[in-house]
Amino acid sequence: MRGFVTVAALAAASLGAFAQVPAGYPADYAKIVAGAKAEGKVVIYSALDTKAAAPLVKDFNAVYPDVKVEYNDMNSTELYNRFIAEVASGQGGADVMWSSAMDLQVKLVDDGQAMTYASPEVVKLPKWAVYKNQAYGTTYEPAVFIYNKRLVTGAEIPQDHASFAKVIESNTAKFKGKVTTYDIEKSGVGFMFVVQDTKYFPGMKDLERGFGATSYKVYSSTGNMLEKVSSGEHLLGYNVLGSYALVRAKKDPNLGVVLPKDFTLVLSRVMFIGKKAQHPNAAKLWTDYVLSQRGQKMIGGEVELFAVRDDVEAEYTASKLNKQLGGVVKPIPVGAEITEYLDSKKRLEFLGQWKATLAAGGGK
């Protein structure tokens, strides 16, 4: 008798939830939906701030009103530190990790911290954005140059990496102390960008010397660079996260944005589900939602990042960016190769060379 009641209750629950299985998903997805409903919430650790992610969370709740989203934003290093500490202490923290520090995310996957989950949406993603069916690239955010529109005009606006180097080198007096980029010792994203730059841009050393010659200023975050270039304290910003820059530039008449013409690096925020996630079903729902066409439309629209999927119509999408720039877009792959410089010896060597080149340019 008791067994029957349980079965009936389960059937009723899955029937009620069945209506929510997205089109094209396997029928047994209803189990995940029911499980998520029972779990009641999903805990997300993300490097994207709460304000920016709010539309996404709201839309997710429109689809799954029974799953409460506990969204926590922190910077990408903190995200990593907190996650490993919580796992080690056995205090469950994050169900879903979502971070722009692609290398750290991939490292966590390689360290066995991620759950294997082949999202039904995998087939719709570019190959480079899927890693071991554990980690997924969710966005398509270009690294851009920024400049102060009132104080930098005409030929002084760099259009590609080589002209960036030339502009600051040919006018070090004007640009002394006015060029900014990430502090690569502090910002994992900034570090990752310059490692990629050295791959695609043979003149990188000239640029570094130019940074040295103009005593460039470094910050650990995009917001600081945008603020200081907008106010005119700095004039040019290098390798700034384009998703944030373009959003601010829309409202801020002082800020100009350039997508480099020779090559444009693209970062993709990596998402995975924690191996010991306490709300695994809810985490799966969230991940699938973000990768789905509906979620991607939000990301390319109100969230104002760039949708990674090709089949999405929105203001900011990978396909639009690719069309605009032709073949020069270089997405950083979600793969083992990007963790190369997490080896502390290699990293310190790279940092040492970077500093030496700056010094050769006459910098600090």
| Residue 85 in the binding site for another protein (CB under 8 A) | yes
Window of 26-34, 122-130, 223-231, 321-329 that interacts with another protein by CB under 8 A: 223-231
Least Å distance, CB 140 to another protein, is 22
Q: Looking at residues 246 to 265 of the shown chain, list those that interact with another protein (rule: CB under 8 A).
A: 251-252, 254
**CA 252/CA 53 separation, integer angstroms:** 21
Pick the closest to residue 239 from 294, 299, 165 (CA basis): 165
* CB-nearer residue toward another protein: 131 or 341: 341
* DSSP result, 302-337: TT-S-B--TT--SSSBHHHHHHHHGGGEEEPPSSGG
Window of 132-140, 175-183, 294-302, 303-311 that interacts with another protein by CB under 8 A: 175-183
| Binding test (CB under 8 A) with another protein, winner from 163, 196, 222, 264 | 222
Angstrom distances, CA of residue 33 to CA of 94, 237, 281: 19, 45, 7
Least Å distance, CB 165 to another protein, is 20
| Binding test (CB under 8 A) with another protein, winner from 39, 95, 103, 141 | 103
| Residue 268 in the binding site for another protein (CB under 8 A) | no
Query: Pairing state of beta strands 236-241 and 179-182?
Result: parallel
| Residue 328 in the binding site for another protein (CB under 8 A) | no
Q: State the Rg of the chain over Cα.
A: 22
**CA 238/CA 258 separation, integer angstroms:** 10
| Residue 293 in the binding site for another protein (CB under 8 A) | no
Angle of CA points 269, 234, 357, to nearest 5°: 75
What are residue 331's DSSP bridge partners? 266
| Residue 145 in the binding site for another protein (CB under 8 A) | no
* CB-nearer residue toward another protein: 63 or 342: 342
| Residue 182 in the binding site for another protein (CB under 8 A) | no
| Binding test (CB under 8 A) with another protein, winner from 1, 5, 27, 88 | 88
| Residue 219 in the binding site for another protein (CB under 8 A) | yes
| Residue 348 in the binding site for another protein (CB under 8 A) | yes
Q: Count of alpha carbons within 13 Å of 72, Cβ hemisphere only? A: 17
Structure tokens at 34: 């029911």
* CB-nearer residue toward another protein: 153 or 324: 153
Window of 59-67, 82-90, 271-279, 307-315 that interacts with another protein by CB under 8 A: 82-90
**CA 358/CA 205 separation, integer angstroms:** 9
252: alpha, beta or left, given left = phi > 0 and alpha = psi -120 to 50?
beta
**CA 224/CA 71 separation, integer angstroms:** 23
Pick the closest to residue 321 from 338, 305, 303, 333 (CA basis): 305
* CB-nearer residue toward another protein: 66 or 252: 252
**CA 278/CA 92 separation, integer angstroms:** 7
Contact pattern from residue 24 through residue 53 relative to another protein, giving x for each residue in contact according to CB under 8 A and a dash for the rest: -------------------------xxx--
**CA 191/CA 214 separation, integer angstroms:** 20
* CB-nearer residue toward another protein: 32 or 303: 303
* CB-nearer residue toward another protein: 191 or 289: 191
| Binding test (CB under 8 A) with another protein, winner from 224, 278, 293, 322 | 224
Positions touching another protein (CB under 8 A) are: 49-51, 70, 72, 74-75, 77, 80-82, 84-86, 88-89, 91, 103-104, 107, 150-151, 177, 180, 183, 185-188, 191, 215, 217-227, 230-233, 251-252, 254, 341-342, 344, 347-348, 351, 364
